[in-house]
Amino acid sequence: MNDEYFMSLALELAKKGEGGVNPNPMVGAVIVKDGKVIGKGYHQYFGDKHAEVNAIEDAKSKGHSLEGATMYVTLEPCSHWGKQPPCVDRIIKEGFSRVVIAMEDPNPLVNGKSIEKLKKAGIEVKVGILKEEARKLNEIFLKYITTKTPFVAIKLALTLDGFIATKTFSSKWITGKKAREKVQELRKKYMAIMVGANTILKDDPKLTCRIEGCTEKVKVILDRHGLTANGNFRAFKNGKVIVFTKSEKEWNNAEVIRETNPGRILKILGEKGIDSVLIEGGRIACQFLPFANKLHLFYGNKLFGKGISPFECLNVDKVSDAFKVEFLKFESFRDSLYVEAKPCSQE
């Protein structure tokens, strides 16, 4: 067993924190001594103990000495005080001889400082093991910490010929049950869910995540003309709701921000500590397409011939001018097909 093996264990642990740690990164840690795993831990939810400390406490609870042990951690340990003390100081204190890190933390408060501190303490440090896997795991965190704007994902349910509804706005259900269950898994990943006023008026969704371990989502509603103001809609009945509008109307149970420019909306959400947003409103998707980091497209086994297209704003005349994507993943549910993609302009 080598460094890649133990780091892969740490990455699997890190995934357990998905949806619970935002806007912090998912982090996993594994402690190895004499070739055996003696401690494991991961960052479980925002504000809780970090992965490194959980792994250390796990090992010590089993009676293990950490003197001379190796720690494998998926992200550079923190070097600053936040809701928890600096992990790097705890690692040094416990007498580790070696620390293997998948990737540096781009957070300006860390960004190599912990690596240098470990080296100065006489600890061997190795950086870059399974780095690309670690970057992919924390793509939301990396976007937010380096730009202070949310990671933007667009989710759409489409017919095979690319429509989100019929000409009369009928849309339930284009995809099958298993595809809709997959949507709940996606919602778990993101801090906020965004829809337009038409989605609220037509579907009256709760905009919640209905699977175990899912945190409450911030609900973002784009309502330029105030069509949902003081209506008896389910989305407004609990949780945090933010409405972006040009209307002078007032809403009960919602924070109202008079702004409708997509770029400025994302900047405001970032300033509020929202690291990611899943855009589910079909007709607003095109407005946010230039800012998209990922597309989650669900195709049902239906053809409409004519209907409502989510991408009419593109207005492409030449094939060479088309908006292009890179396909990342495909999943079949027999009556539906899931496609995960990212814009070709994304790194």
Q: What is the pLDDT of residues 69-90, one digit of tens each?
A: 999 999 999 876 566 678 888 9
Q: Is the predicted pLDDT of residue 207 greater than 70, yes or no?
A: yes
List active site positions.
52
Q: What percent of the chain has pLDDT over 70?
A: 97
Give tens-digit pLDDT for 331-343.
Answer: 999 899 999 999 9
How many C-beta atoms lie closer than 10 Å to residue 316's C-beta? 10
Mean pLDDT of the chain: 91
Q: Two tokens at 322?
A: 């088309």
How much is the pTM? 0.89
Strand arrangement, sheet containing 124-127: 36-42, 28-33, 70-73, 98-101, 124-127
pLDDT of 83 reads 62
Please tell me the distance from the alpha carbon of residue 32 to that of residue 10, in angstroms, as a whole number: 11
Tell me if the bond preceding 173 is cis, omega within 30° of 0.
yes
The dihedrals phi and psi of 264, each to the nearest 5 degrees, come to -70, -35
137 or 78, which is more confident? 137
Please list, in sequence order, all residues whose beta carbon lies within 8 angstroms of the beta carbon of residue 49, skipping any fewer than 6 positions away: 41, 43, 57, 84
CA angle 31, 28, 296 (to 5 degrees): 155
Burial group, residue 307, by CB count within 10 angstroms (0-12, 13-18, 19+): buried
pLDDT of 81 reads 55
Question: Which 3 state secondary structure label does DSSP give 244?
Answer: strand
Q: Is the predicted pLDDT of residue 347 greater than 60, yes or no?
A: no
264 or 237, which is more confident? 264
Please tell me the distance from the alpha carbon of residue 279 to that of residue 266, in angstroms, as a whole number: 11
Give tens-digit pLDDT for 277-319.
Answer: 999 977 899 999 999 999 999 999 999 999 988 988 888 889 9
Please tell me the distance from the alpha carbon of residue 150 to that of residue 271, in angstroms, as a whole number: 9
Please tell me the distance from the alpha carbon of residue 58 to that of residue 78, in angstroms, as a whole number: 19
The mean pLDDT value for 143-150 works out to 95
The dihedrals phi and psi of 278, each to the nearest 5 degrees, come to -100, 115
